[in-house]
Structure 1
Amino acid sequence: MQKIPLDLAAPGMKLAKPVTKSDGLVLVGAGVELTTTIISRFRASGVQSLTVQGRPVDLGDDGGNDLERIAGRLDHLFRKHGQDRFMVTLRNMLRRFFAERIAAAKAAEEAEAAAIAAAAEAAREEAEAQAAQNRIPLVPLVDDEPEGVPARPEVANGNGAPRENGR
């Protein structure tokens, strides 16, 4: 999941969270695939940013998420409080908190990728089953006459003339 400015939104991206106006009115729900029309309507409605699935845009943060960046800064933020037991305890609690959140975010991304792969596999299998169901089996035709020889009409007498009206 990545929050991006509207200017970087492109058709084909999927929303991870609903897009709302400043008054809380939901414009588009989560899971909707962006189109040029939707993006232009967001601009007209004053939307500044949106949250999309995955990390489709490189924002120059080396691929890391905000939680990892903040967790990496904890030691710097608490550098002057090494002797204060309360602050050391708080720093350790924050480390555990961010480690759990980072692990949960990674697990959610992996689960999302697995769900997408499973859905693609199910769609492929369904398409194959549908194709197999729509196929007409080829039944070999039995022909009594050799190829290229027309069928002979029944003959009444030995001269080879066809029967006419049952005579």
Structure 2
Amino acid sequence: MLERCKSAQERWGGVHTLIDRWLQQRRTLIETYIRLRERGEFTPTDTPNIQLFAEMLVDYVSVGHFEIYEQLAHEAKDFHNDEALKLLHELLPEIQSTTEIVLEFDDKYGTKEQCNSLLEELPFSLQALAVVMAERFGYEDRLIEELHEAHSEKSA
């Protein structure tokens, strides 16, 4: 997952500053996930880090929904790229379903009391979350790639 993130930054970095920052946010999110996953067993002393990760997840998906996808739609319209708009409308429901899982994770682990009561479940929740987020990153990469190709063609 981290290698795919690096690859996305290399391929699309510089296309748009907002997207660059978002891809960096994704990378930080993945690195934080990896550190958590490597912990194995969790204790209440891990709760602040778990809560921070849950907050980072919500921040990441919020930027996607309220900034990035909107920006991609505007750019697709500006470049008269109906295919990119079509792809955006096809993938948004898929992306939304991953957002719901992120919000469920935040509901479970976002508060100290709730998080502490579910520490035994956390490794399983992290594993399931990794699958969902990898799916989401794939959808997002497709959207960025479609838009990037449109920009490259128009610029050439």
Structure 2 length as normaliser, TM-score? 0.37
Which has the higher relative contact order, 1 or 2, with Cα contacts under 8 A spaced 6 or more apart? 2
Structure whose CA Rg is larger: 1
